[in-house]
Structure 1
Amino acid sequence: MADATGADPHAGSELVPGAAFTTLSLRRDPSNPRIARITFDRPARLNAITMDTPGEIRRAVELANADDEIHAIVLQGAGAAFCAGYDIGLYGEATGEHPCKQEATPWDPMRDYRAMRGYTDDFMALWRSHKPTIARVHRYAIAGGSDIALCCDLIVMEEEARIGYMPTRVWGCPTTAHWTYRLGPERAKRLLLTGDLIDGRTAAAWGLVGEAVPGENLDAAVDALAARVAAVPSGMLAMQKLVVNEAVERMGLLASQTLATVFDGITRHNPEGLWFRRQAQAHGFKSAVEWRDSGRPIPAGDEARRLIAELDALIAARADGG
């Protein structure tokens, strides 16, 4: 199965035969045994994140780290996109209880925190990996997909691809918190205060990603970078990476992640977040997203509470057959 740029994400043998994954695959690069490829494998959903995805990322990284022949890890997406964020069918439109979308009032912030911190720590396996991680980004790395990409050491992006975190407008705060450390405060605020997306060219010019190339050159650029890295002894790679990571963490990355993860829970359970969820449940996630991204004022406070009551009544009437 080839993706939009012609790459076959299922080429190569399984790195660990019999390792069971539901949202991704882990394979040895067919042309370079020093490179492992983790491929998101939900192309029909643009590789949207399920409850299984974070833990499977961690497990795949740990398996690649345990293989002494592997020197570098490429993270990529099958089909038309790298990753389009959390699966809206599971996290937005669906009703029912989940730690990250509680219906109880008052909600339990630490229950939410435990769940989201677990996801964040799983994504950060890419950051902690002793083997360098390289994200190959095409079309979309948005919302939670950008969280994942920015945990990688190096990012090569298609020029026309888009990256950003639209839920900062309502119902989200990027929990891996890499934006400030990659962009600096001015440009991080420019993106997080608007929720705007930028293309690969802008991302490279701003320093968010290392390189942006035309789509037809993406595979060649990723392959060349991965091969260059993989030629270095694994011990040397681990030491250089640890030095840089330690510097960034001493600047406050891990503390920022704690704060961002707490705030992420608040954004999903405050009046604005509850309105967004009810809008999605009553009228579909597309309707909620169109409002969020249109530039219209987002309901807040008492206005959000009033609309929540109206939407609750509509949902209840539908359930009763009205």
Structure 2
Amino acid sequence: MNTGDSMKAEAFQTIRYDVGDGVATITLNRPAQKNALDKVMRAELAEAVAEVRRDRSIHALVLTGAGGAFCAGGDIRGMQSGAGTAEEGRDRMLDLHLWVEELINFDRPVIAAVDGPAFGAGFGLALAADFVLATPRARFCLSFLKLGLIPDCGVFYTLPRVVGLQRAKELAFSARELGAEEARQLGIVAEIHEPDAIAGRAREIALSFTAASLTALSISKRVFNAAPTSTLGALLEMEAAGQGVARSSEYHRNAVAAFLNKEAPPYSWPK
């Protein structure tokens, strides 16, 4: 992490933001509150996500939480002060949506490392990632209905794409907890690792992407995100245009040369 990154990290009150070796890590850092999202954390996440998006030297992003929790959702104590008018509530959500949309559409891989609770908006935050790693003690819950609220943090977009519409409704309407193994069976969790290993595995995966083509990663993620609402013709057109760009890249030419010379490929998924 360079000096500029260190100064920025020290400026945050509720998160840690670190950059090194082409990987950014955002750590939710309110462990006494199980990393619940308050007004300050939402604003700092907006700043950090915008910084990651601007920095083209970053090839992957890791999201995690401090103190044995990922994120307990919204800060319920902060809700006691009242929601204000409907217009004020909507404006607050629109501010949230600015960075949630940037995170979902971030054109490089995002890995969430979930230990402990990922409830409410914390579940939504995990779903914004491309890959969710979990510990055996991870718990997921769309707890909104228990508070008379509807899912937020992009859940209406992300969850049905992972588990299907009927299962997404069941998880939202039951507001029940999922353990790590059931979440893996539903396709929410990609891998399960012990608490002392999950951070290392998340970083190992993130670092592997620094050897991949940033152009190919970016285009592939954009097309995948567009796939559920696009026609076959539109997707084939995106595929053709994207492949044309990828094939013209220096990375592709070097990878082909390595293959022809029977050299190891520049990128491989870490086993």
- Tell me the amino acid that sits aligned with residue 22 of structure 1: Q
Q: Percent identity?
A: 27
TM-score (norm 1): 0.65
Q: Offset at 1:153?
A: 1.8
**Conserved in 2, the CA contact under 8 Å of 1:146 and 1:163?**
yes
Q: Which residue number in structure 1 is paired with residue 208 of structure 2?
A: 228
2:127 is aligned with 1:150: yes
Q: Which residue number in structure 1 is paired with residue 51 of structure 2?
A: 63
Would the alpha carbon gap of residues 111 and 244 (structure 1) be closer, same or farther in structure 2, given more than 3 Å must change?
Answer: same
Q: Which residue number in structure 1 is paired with residue 176 of structure 2?
A: 196
2:93 is aligned with 1:116: yes
Q: Offset at 1:242?
A: 0.6
Whole-angstrom distance in 1 between the partners of 2:124 and 2:101 = 9
- Tell me the amino acid that sits aligned with residue 184 of structure 2: A
Would the alpha carbon gap of residues 148 and 201 (structure 1) be closer, same or farther in structure 2, given more than 3 Å must change?
Answer: same
Q: Which residue number in structure 1 is paired with residue 242 of structure 2?
A: none
Q: Offset at 1:159?
A: 2.4
Structure 2, unaligned stretches of length 5 or more?
232-271
Q: Which residue number in structure 2 is paired with residue 78 of structure 1?
A: 66
- Tell me the amino acid that sits aligned with residue 64 of structure 2: Q
Q: Which residue number in structure 2 is paired with residue 260 of structure 1?
A: none
Q: Offset at 1:136?
A: 0.6
- Tell me the amino acid that sits aligned with residue 210 of structure 1: A
Whole-angstrom distance in 2 between the partners of 1:123 and 1:240 = 20
User: SS at the partner of 1:124?
Assistant: helix
Q: Offset at 1:75?
A: 0.7
- Tell me the amino acid that sits aligned with residue 128 of structure 2: C
User: SS at the partner of 1:56?
Assistant: helix
Q: Which residue number in structure 2 is paired with residue 293 of structure 1?
A: none
Q: Which residue number in structure 1 is paired with residue 18 of structure 2?
A: 27
2:226 is aligned with 1:217: no
Which whole-Å deviations, capped at 9, do the CAs of 1:260-279 have from their partners, x for residues lacking one? Answer: xxxxxxxxxxxxxxxxxxxx
Structure 1, unaligned stretches of length 5 or more?
1-11, 103-107, 252-322
Would the alpha carbon gap of residues 181 and 129 (structure 1) be closer, same or farther in structure 2, given more than 3 Å must change?
Answer: same
Q: Which residue number in structure 1 is paired with residue 258 of structure 2?
A: none
Whole-angstrom distance in 2 between the partners of 1:166 and 1:46 = 15
**More displaced, 56-65 or 137-146?**
56-65
Q: Offset at 1:17?
A: 4.3
Which whole-Å deviations, capped at 9, do the CAs of 1:22-56 have from their partners, x for residues lacking one? Answer: 21121124xxx111111111111111101122232
- Tell me the amino acid that sits aligned with residue 167 of structure 2: R
User: SS at the partner of 1:134?
Assistant: strand
Q: Output aligned runs, 1:178-189, within 5 Å.
A: 178-189=158-169
- Tell me the amino acid that sits aligned with residue 136 of structure 2: E
- Tell me the amino acid that sits aligned with residue 194 of structure 2: P
**Conserved in 1, the CA contact under 8 Å of 2:50 and 2:99?**
no
Q: Offset at 1:187?
A: 1.7
User: SS at the partner of 2:7?
Assistant: coil
- Tell me the amino acid that sits aligned with residue 129 of structure 2: C
125, 136, 140: which one aligns with 1:163: 140
Q: Output aligned runs, 1:1-322, within 5 Å.
A: 12-13=1-2, 16-19=5-8, 20-29=11-20, 33-91=21-79, 94-95=80-81, 97=82, 101-102=83-84, 108-175=85-152, 176=154, 177=156, 178-248=158-228, 250=230
User: SS at the partner of 1:65?
Assistant: helix
**Conserved in 2, the CA contact under 8 Å of 1:15 and 1:64?**
no
